[in-house]
Amino acid sequence: MMSHHEPQSDADSVDAYMQQFARASLGDAKPLPDPTVIWWKAQRLRRVDAERRLASPVDIGELVLFGLGSVGTLLLLAMLWRTAASSRDPWISVGSVVAITVLVLASGLASSSWSRLPRTFVALFVACIVPAVAPAGQATSVVRQLPPPTGPFQIGRVTAHWSDTSRAEPLAVDRGPRELMVDIWYPADMGGGIPAGYFDSSAFEEAQSADRLRGLLRSAYESIRGGHVRTHAVEGVPLARSVRRAPVLIFSHGGGEARETYSAQLEDLASHGYVVAAISHTYEAVLTVFPDGRRVPLTPKRWPRPATTAIEGLPPSQEANPDRLRWWANDIRFVLDQLTKVDGQSSGSPFVGRLDLSRVGVFGHSAGGQAAAHACQIEPRLRACLNQDGLSAFAPYYPNDGWGMDQAFMLIVRNTPRELPTKEELASLGMTLTQAKDLLSRLDARQDATLRNTGRGAYRVLLEAAATTHADFTDLPFLQSTLPAETEIRARIIGTVRSVTRAFFDKTLKRLEVPFLDGHVATAFVEGVQKFEPANRPKR
Amino acid sequence: VIDEDAFHALYRDTAAPLRAYVARVLGGVGQADDIVQETYLRALRAPCSGYDPTQVRAYLFRIASNLIADHFRRQKRESPLGEVPERAAPARDDSARIDMARVFRLLRVRDRQLLWLAHVEGANYHELAEALGLREGSVRVLLSRARRKLAALIEARER
């Protein structure tokens, strides 16, 4: 049996088996990935590659840079090697040594002047690296950092626990006051410190289960749970000295999301000088952890969908519950009150006398975006309002008597193509094609009308729907992507969300010139910027 | 360089067999689509890849094979106890389809790749070596071992 010639019967039975196996269905096969999207993404990546090649210096400069880079790397390696010996968890440090080496080697190899590099030099370099790295083996842990913040400031963070005694929480056991957890991200000065944690996954696992957390984070589970994802912020450091009074932003997460998973956006704004307070809407965040250890999970059915709709032909489930919007908007208003209090105190936080309460903006994602808009409708101290992809029945806010808001407004929305329903869908809706077309155009008109009825003008920024998803305003698509091309695209989408968001607040709160908003600057993943002129509030 | 229409034609011809390969070797459709997408992205992104229609299919399977290997390496690294759930426990199942997939998953990843490429894609020794980064000499031996293992598993199942 152990001869080198396999018995013919083996080959035959295996072949028959494989043929049958190949014909068997794959089970719950979804349709194949859309080739148009793949083609489109590839074009994007090719353009990025081309830009990169153009931007890289070609001549002797590259050689010099490479030399400098390798010397720097060797120094860095030596340093890391020493810390690795003393560190608590040497594998992490070893992992970073390997990672840096691979990075430098890869960038060296990829550079276009590869053929011009003296081979001996490269050989020497490799000879230095290999023995240093060899003992490390393969024990690298996967460390995925959030995209680096783009602003000039370092970042600080504090977490506040505030109780609103003016509102009873009906879901609390004792019907006590409404309690909120709020992260405040802010500009800080250069200085060391351990980066603040990203997500309290152990609390989540204790309150819910590892399976739930795995379901939520999917492929980002291991790295987040292992504590490998860190923020760029340091807890409790002083506010940057060069900032006299900082403009303030309040952020509201999407329904069933978590304030933590918007860190990439929030810390970027802080790095540009904004103080950003991010709320967890208790019972409607995936989990809210209080300092005394209480853990409040999501209560999904808190607000029933409205029973009627103002729009003919639309199922009421498409509309927001106004009670819920009001409740969230009151959370936002309460946080503004607390920030005002903190600013007026004599000590006890980095913000004493440092908040510019004449420049306060609010923004939110999804349900939070609508809540932000509603907060502006009820709170004139808020000066600017940004809604990130939060629509109900196509409207970015709750149309109060037809008037939007007095403040400046922006809607960032994915430009999803209007697909007409199929025959089956029409049947299930009980509609004719003409009726469906009519409904869609009425919904489009409804969105346009909301944008035309604001007191300081409005912007609508259209994101390319093919490449983006509703979740791209959170960190998760980026942290979950496991393949390099996908990771690169997700990082660039976060970059776009960051720059569009900041453009709006830079213009409306900092009064800066922002060329992007004048519509003449092309930005990746943005299909267009539409501007709506200010309107006059109708007299009652 | 390939244009959009040619790409669509290529995709029509190759995407389904490529997905079948990836899904069967991975043991599920879930992650397969990510790898399928990444495969085409890489192929399209490669700077001035000499586009030879007779070679492109082999080229795609080679990229996918590399991505599969990366996938299992990553899984091994991220799995906290170092155990890789790539080998399912043998279990009886009424459905022949699931049973075939279970049997196949008892094999090592490399063996699954060899068997699929050789028997379903009809790759010769040279093409197998190219796709899996092996020497042509070893392919012969490895493939025959893989066949022997599968034959033994089939026999065990039938008994």
Q: Which residues of chain A does B115 touch, with a Cβ-Cβ cutoff of 8 Å?
A: 14, 18
Q: Is B4 on the interface with A (CB under 8 A)?
A: yes
Residue of B nearest to A220 (CA): B78
Selecting from A26, A223, A483 the residue whose C-beta is nearest the C-beta of B23 gives A26
Q: What is the mean pLDDT of residues A81-91?
A: 53
Q: What is the pLDDT of residue A108?
A: 55
- Mean pLDDT of all residues belonging to chain A: 83
A119-123, A360-364, A412-416, A481-485: which is most confident: A360-364
Q: Where is pLDDT greater, at A88 or A24? A: A24
Does pLDDT of A465 surpass 50? yes
Question: Which range (A30-44, A123-137, A231-245, A326-340) has the least confidence?
Answer: A123-137
Q: Do A17 and B19 touch (CB under 8 A)?
A: no
Mutate one of B19, B37, B74 to test the A interface: name it (highest A CB count within 10 A): B37
- Assess contact for A278 and A259: CB atoms under 8 A: yes
Sheet with A246-252: strands ordered across:
A195-197, A230-235, A154-168, A177-188, A275-280, A246-252, A355-365, A384-388, A408-414, A458-463, A526-532
Contacting A residues, span 51-110, partner chain B, CB-CB under 8 Å: none
Distance from CA of B131 to the nearest CA of A (A): 19
Q: Is A21 on the interface with B (CB under 8 A)?
A: yes
Reported confidence tier of residue A377, pLDDT bands at 50, 70, 90: very high
Distance from CA of A302 to the nearest CA of B (A): 33
Q: Do A485 and B67 touch (CB under 8 A)?
A: no
Q: What is the mean pLDDT of residues A3-19?
A: 75
Selecting from A10, A29, A485 the residue whose C-beta is nearest the C-beta of B41 gives A485
Q: Which residues of chain B does A27 touch, with a Cβ-Cβ cutoff of 8 Å?
A: 29, 97-98
Q: What is the pLDDT of residue A357?
A: 97
Q: Which residues of chain B does A28 touch, with a Cβ-Cβ cutoff of 8 Å?
A: 29
Reported confidence tier of residue A115, pLDDT bands at 50, 70, 90: very low
- Mean pLDDT of all residues belonging to chain B: 81
Q: What is the mean pLDDT of residues A504-525?
A: 87
Q: What is the mean pLDDT of residues A397-403?
A: 78
Q: Is B105 on the interface with A (CB under 8 A)?
A: no
CA distance to A12, A24, A414, A539, B27, per residue, from A15 (Å): 5, 14, 49, 82, 19
Q: pLDDT per residue over A416-451, tens digit each?
A: 877 777 787 788 778 888 888 888 888 889 899 999
Q: What is the mean pLDDT of residues A182-194?
A: 92
Does pLDDT of A233 surpass 70? yes
Q: What is the mean pLDDT of residues A233-240?
A: 94
Q: What is the mean pLDDT of residues A285-300?
A: 90
DSSP A300-350: TTSSPPPS--SSTTS-GGGSPPHHHHHHHHHHHHHHHHHHHHHHHSSSSST
Does pLDDT of A201 surpass 60? yes
Q: Where is pLDDT greater, at A49 or A252? A: A252
Does pLDDT of A123 surpass 50? no
Q: What is the pLDDT of residue A522?
A: 77
Reported confidence tier of residue A54, pLDDT bands at 50, 70, 90: low
In which element (H, E) is residue A248 found?
A: strand A246-252
Reported confidence tier of residue B88, pLDDT bands at 50, 70, 90: very low
Q: Is B154 on the interface with A (CB under 8 A)?
A: yes
Give the global pTM. 0.69
Token pair listed for B18: 């490529």
What letter represents residue A310's amino acid?
A: A
Q: Is B2 on the interface with A (CB under 8 A)?
A: no
Distance from CA of A52 to the nearest CA of B (A): 13
A80-84, A305-309, B45-49: which is most confident: A305-309
CA dist., res. A521 & res. A518, Å (int): 8
Q: What is the pLDDT of residue A249?
A: 98
Q: What is the pLDDT of residue A455?
A: 95
Does pLDDT of A314 surpass 90? no
Helix (H, G, I), strand (E, B) or coil at A365: strand
Selecting from B77, B78, B115 the residue whose C-beta is nearest the C-beta of A14 gives B115
